[in-house]
Structure 1
Amino acid sequence: MMGMDEEDVLARLKAARKSLFDPSIAAHRGRIVKTTGDGMLVEFASAVDAARCAIEVQRGMVEQNAAVPQAKRIEFRVGIHVGDIIIDENDIFGDGVNIAARLEGIAEPGGICISEDTQRQIRGKVDIAFEDMGPQNLKNIVEPMRAWRLRINADGSAAISKRSPVETTQALALPDKPSIAVLPFQNMSGDPEQEYFADGIAEDIITALSRFKALFVIARNSSFTYKGRAVDIKQVGRELGVRYVLEGSVRKAANRVRITGQLVDTPTGGHLWADRFDGGLTDIFDLQDQVTESIVGAIAPAVEKAEIERAKRKPTESLDAYDHYLRGLASSYQFANRQANEEALRLFNRAIKLDPGFASAYGRAALCYTFAKTNGWISVTPSETAKVEKLVQRAVELGKDDVIALAASGYVSAFVLLDLGGGAALIDRALVFNSNWAEAWFWSGWVKNWLGEPETAIERFARAIRLNPLDPFMSGVRTGTSHAHFFLGHYGDAASWAAMALQDNPDFQPALRMDAASKAMAGRLEQAQKAVARLRQLNPSVRVSNLKSVLGPYRRAEDLARYEEGLRRAGLPE
């Protein structure tokens, strides 16, 4: 609106505040703490006062908008929470403020969203009943919070759904992170006894997706209101306020079962991912677990890829912290490109500046230093080490159950900070919270290599491939697998895996080093020398004597000695 007619919109905003907001807040004993562009933070001594003021304001806006065309109507969202605050001079901070802000973000335009604590305080004391939204995952809030909502109709009454608790008069605003709903899987078997199996798969997927802190996942109680109904996916997206919907079906024949799933982009109706899974019913719960792991492992990266593409299409002046994070992620996947890595670090730092509580951004920023060290672009000075330590510390503090923040910090701790035990523990902690994130298994595989556990490393890398076989970091997975085979003395297998990694990323230096070392140890000296020649083109200063800093913190001296011997045989100067 401001872009179309800045003066008119600003004048109407000021008029709304003068005629409606300020008088209503004063009448209900509120205090305007601060204004934030077209928003404000208000403190009340009573939850009832806050709710009554919000209802009065939203009713007033409905009246003011009655004669205004839909495209020009100014509508506000209100979030209310009861909680402790920190008072600093004239400002207030703390979880009480943060939760109120997050609730405002998931409210409808023209609506009010309140926490369960607020609902208990005002129940029976205001003249309008709020509608239960169920548990909601709020950004940077650890536990899901139950929320309640209200929308004011044109006649000033409350807009309460008559068909289901998720249907509203207008589309819900999308959250500030990727949002997804998992609909009940359709039982195509004609066997009522299979209903529990179909429901169980959907419930397990909801639970598993909820462990991804980067996703906003609609609770089961809301998703399952669509059970047994023919639905329009675009309408579901509007009613639940989600960008993505997962739907599927279960069909049983004899002792076999087929499960299908598809991920749909609700604004366009386009399919982002689809697959099917076949299995036997001898151990139905084991099959349920396998299907859940496979679907979650596939759709989480599919959502991430779609979000990256969406962020790339946004004009740079409208980017927020999450868009900077996504653009940084796209750059960071170009492992062998120094400029791309530097750009990724800049974007992650920008995301941190915009949202200092963004745990994953700290972890990703720290990872940029590992890519730079791996490729020999930087020497990790005490100053650089201090920067990395600070990033890791903040990532762990903020991301106590964030798999990306914890696992990335573990990998960085092991490789850059040389704390193998602490790094391994952080990754294991991340996998306890969420075992469906392929990158965590990938980083764990590398740490197992450095710890001298190549058999376990191969298992970890295989799990990463199984969860996400098409991910951009696949060259790193294959390189790690080649290293594990090399330390087991399987030089032919090591060379094969290194060659596959180089098909993905021809200039990836860790893969080139292993390609040279494994082929030399296998007696294929001419091919090994070609790999070294390419390695020295990319990094003219590379020598056997200065490789220790980039090869990794190998605990077993014999592993490092074997690696160096292979590169010597391949022709790398001492």
Structure 2
Amino acid sequence: MRYLFEDYALDPDRRELYHGANVVPVAPQVFDLLDYLIRNRERVVSKDELITAIWNGRSVSDAALTTRLNVARGAVSDTGEEQRLIKTLPRKGFRFIGPVREEGDDSPAVPDKMVEPETTLALPDKTSIAVLPFENMSGDPEQEYFADGMVEEITTALSRFKWLFVIARNSSFTFKGKAVDIKEVGRRLGVRYVLEGSVRKAAGKVRIAGQLIDAVTAALIWADRFERDLTDVFALQDEVTVAVVSAIQPKLLQTEIGLATRRRPDNLTAYDFYLRAMQQYYLTTREGNAEAIRLAHRALRLDPRFGFVAALAGACHLRNVLWGYAIDPQFERNEAVRLLRLALSIDDDDPDALALAAATSAFMVGDCETEIELADRAVALNPNSFVAWSCRGQVYRIAGLPEEAIRSFERAIRMSPVDPRLHLLFAGMGSALVELRRFDEAVAAGRKALRQNPSDLVAYRYLASAFAHL
């Protein structure tokens, strides 16, 4: 029997630990410690139990045990701070928490190596990701459907983002039940990122663990765990999917923006210019807004069918009007309307483009019925989109429906709780709360906006209004 986890394999019969095809040298007691924790991974192992099993009950100091644990963690690229695989539970004991797959005695000593493809697939121009099958950790084969269902839900949710290239479920599932090398997965599927995880159902609860890995460098981008009560299975799948997508989506975009800003300027694609434009757009300054417009137009020249970039440029011209940045306000208004119409003519099924166009039109045109229809269609196309929900909030606020605006802003914050644009939502909520005469709440929302971005002009306006009313 061998135990496979991440890109490691522990072979108790040969007393060897493998990292890929390489043997990791470990001391006998460290190997025994790993072996014992992995075999008993379904429960917490106490300190006394470990001492009895590994040291045959001999007197062992806490420092010696801690040293062995740290060496065991180091052998599998874990740390005492991260505790990705071996977790210390204070005053309780220790547990191996990483997803583990058991392999029979008749398997080869080294984890299966996948057949090298004849060619390595080139990475697409936009952010690319594959969601690998999640491991069923419940010990019940009947629960396999639940783990597979989670992967399908997450894949579908990610595929709604037009800026993402998502590998279809059937291709990702060719890796089911295999010990995989993440870099090899990236090469075979032609993706930059891989999401992998595990599902455990027990005692009326379900725990989902996931991690996002850069398939080119094998660097860990994000990791988290989600635990929910197991009541309505399908509602639970939706809830966890939202949690996973809302966590990884902004992280992915920020990572991609970082990569684009480091690329040579003479070798940029339309997508690179879009990412650089987004970085400037986040700044919400006069200079950042002007640079975002310039970069967005560079992207459009390279790809005239890039609908979201047209909508983004239109939103920047709108900002110039609203925030007093415009030298010629009428020109800025005309450009904002022209670009929102261009975006809709290019792709009226891109939820984020629809949403930005709807919000721009709400400020510049004022056709409430059409704008509400566009905003509602955007969230229907992608109910996991921060942009769609935040723009819907603005549309409903301007249409004079502040309660629905606040619900939309709250949904957007749930979609992306660490988004660099949250100050815009808090300022929008402040405006809606002033309209509802909930002035204390408006002050709280305005202060949240300014904590995130002290130069948010809209937040100052509604704070002034709320204080004056109070």
Common topology (TM > 0.5): yes
1:170 pairs with 2:127 = no
- Aligned counterparts, 1:60-71, within 5 A: none
Higher relative CO (Cα under 8 Å, sequence separation at least 6) belongs to 2
Query: The residue matched to 1:229 in structure 2 has which SS?
Result: coil
1:429-474 deviation line (CA, Å, top 9, x unaligned): 1111111111211111112111221111111111011110111110
Which residue of structure 2 lines up, in the alignment, with residue 341 of structure 1? 289
Q: CA deviation at 1:283?
A: 0.7
- Aligned counterparts, 1:257-336, within 5 A: 257-335=206-284
Q: CA deviation at 1:167?
A: 5.8
Which residue of structure 1 lines up, in the alignment, with residue 439 of structure 2? 491
Q: CA deviation at 1:254?
A: 1.2
Distance 1:519 1:279 in 2: 41
Which residue of structure 1 lines up, in the alignment, with residue 419 of structure 2? 471
C-alpha spacing 1:385/1:371, structure 2 compared with 1 (3 Å): closer
Which residue of structure 2 lines up, in the alignment, with residue 30 of structure 1? none
Which residue of structure 1 lines up, in the alignment, with residue 403 of structure 2? 455
Q: CA deviation at 1:508?
A: 0.9
Distance 2:401 2:335 in 1: 30
Query: The residue matched to 1:378 in structure 2 has which SS?
Result: coil
Q: Give, as a single letter, the amino acid of the residue that structure 1 aligns with 2:158.
A: L
Unpaired stretches in structure 2, ≥5 consecutive residues: 1-111
Q: CA deviation at 1:169?
A: 2.4
Which residue of structure 2 lines up, in the alignment, with residue 8 of structure 1? none
Q: CA deviation at 1:274?
A: 1.6
- Say whether the 8 Å CA contact 1:166–1:239 is kept in structure 2: no
1:365 pairs with 2:313 = yes
Which residue of structure 2 lines up, in the alignment, with residue 434 of structure 1? 382
- Aligned counterparts, 1:20-419, within 5 A: 168-335=117-284, 337-378=285-326, 381-419=329-367
Q: CA deviation at 1:279?
A: 1.0
Which residue of structure 2 lines up, in the alignment, with residue 159 of structure 1? none
Query: The residue matched to 2:405 in structure 1 has which SS?
Result: helix
Which residue of structure 2 lines up, in the alignment, with residue 549 of structure 1? none
Distance 1:380 1:490 in 2: 36
Q: CA deviation at 1:270?
A: 1.4
Unpaired stretches in structure 1, ≥5 consecutive residues: 1-162, 523-574
State the identity as a percent: 48
- Say whether the 8 Å CA contact 2:375–2:395 is kept in structure 1: no
C-alpha spacing 1:394/1:280, structure 2 compared with 1 (3 Å): same
C-alpha spacing 1:167/1:371, structure 2 compared with 1 (3 Å): farther
Taking only aligned residues, the RMSD between alpha carbons, in angstroms, comes to 1.7
- Say whether the 8 Å CA contact 1:483–1:494 is kept in structure 2: yes
Distance 2:280 2:266 in 1: 19
Q: CA deviation at 1:166?
A: 9.2
Q: CA deviation at 1:203?
A: 0.6
Q: CA deviation at 1:263?
A: 0.9
1:48-102 deviation line (CA, Å, top 9, x unaligned): xxxxxxxxxxxxxxxxxxxxxxxxxxxxxxxxxxxxxxxxxxxxxxxxxxxxxxx
Query: The residue matched to 1:277 in structure 2 has which SS?
Result: strand
Q: CA deviation at 1:379?
A: 7.0
Distance 2:159 2:456 in 1: 34
Distance 2:382 2:175 in 1: 27
Distance 1:258 1:475 in 2: 32
- Say whether the 8 Å CA contact 1:414–1:422 is kept in structure 2: no
Q: CA deviation at 1:400?
A: 2.2
1:89-119 deviation line (CA, Å, top 9, x unaligned): xxxxxxxxxxxxxxxxxxxxxxxxxxxxxxx
- Say whether the 8 Å CA contact 1:166–1:222 is kept in structure 2: no
Query: The residue matched to 1:436 in structure 2 has which SS?
Result: coil
- Say whether the 8 Å CA contact 2:130–2:195 is kept in structure 1: yes
Which residue of structure 2 lines up, in the alignment, with residue 513 of structure 1? 461
Q: TM-score, structure 2 length as denominator?
A: 0.74
Q: Give, as a single letter, the amino acid of the residue that structure 2 aligns with 1:405.
A: A
- Aligned counterparts, 1:513-532, within 5 A: 513-522=461-470
1:316-356 deviation line (CA, Å, top 9, x unaligned): 11111111111001001111x10110000000011001111
1:452-502 deviation line (CA, Å, top 9, x unaligned): 211111111110111101111100111111112211111111011101101
The partner residue of 2:428 within 439, 461, 480 is 480
Distance 1:367 1:355 in 2: 19
- Say whether the 8 Å CA contact 1:373–1:379 is kept in structure 2: no
- Say whether the 8 Å CA contact 2:320–2:332 is kept in structure 1: no
Distance 1:496 1:438 in 2: 22
Query: The residue matched to 2:336 in structure 1 has which SS?
Result: helix
Q: CA deviation at 1:367?
A: 0.6
Query: The residue matched to 2:283 in structure 1 has which SS?
Result: coil
C-alpha spacing 1:421/1:503, structure 2 compared with 1 (3 Å): same
- Say whether the 8 Å CA contact 1:245–1:265 is kept in structure 2: yes
Q: Give, as a single letter, the amino acid of the residue that structure 2 aligns with 1:230.
A: A
Distance 2:176 2:129 in 1: 17
Q: Give, as a single letter, the amino acid of the residue that structure 1 aligns with 2:142.
A: E
Report which of the two structures shows the higher radius of gyration computed on alpha carbons.
Answer: 1
C-alpha spacing 1:491/1:379, structure 2 compared with 1 (3 Å): farther
The alignment of Structure 1 onto Structure 2 pairs a total of residues equal to: 359
Distance 1:463 1:380 in 2: 36
Q: CA deviation at 1:392?
A: 1.2
Which residue of structure 2 lines up, in the alignment, with residue 443 of structure 1? 391
Distance 2:460 2:178 in 1: 55
- Say whether the 8 Å CA contact 1:258–1:276 is kept in structure 2: yes
Distance 1:358 1:385 in 2: 21
Q: Give, as a single letter, the amino acid of the residue that structure 2 aligns with 1:266.
A: A
Q: Give, as a single letter, the amino acid of the residue that structure 2 aligns with 1:180.
A: I
Distance 1:449 1:393 in 2: 22
C-alpha spacing 1:416/1:167, structure 2 compared with 1 (3 Å): farther
Query: The residue matched to 1:461 in structure 2 has which SS?
Result: helix
Distance 2:255 2:390 in 1: 22
C-alpha spacing 1:380/1:426, structure 2 compared with 1 (3 Å): farther
Q: Give, as a single letter, the amino acid of the residue that structure 1 aligns with 2:353.
A: A
Query: The residue matched to 2:357 in structure 1 has which SS?
Result: helix
Distance 2:347 2:296 in 1: 16
Q: Give, as a single letter, the amino acid of the residue that structure 1 aligns with 2:368.
A: L
Q: Give, as a single letter, the amino acid of the residue that structure 1 aligns with 2:467.
A: K
Q: Which runs of 4+ in 1 moved over 4 A?
A: 163-167, 379-382
Which residue of structure 1 lines up, in the alignment, with residue 92 of structure 2? none
Query: The residue matched to 1:333 in structure 2 has which SS?
Result: helix
Distance 1:284 1:384 in 2: 50
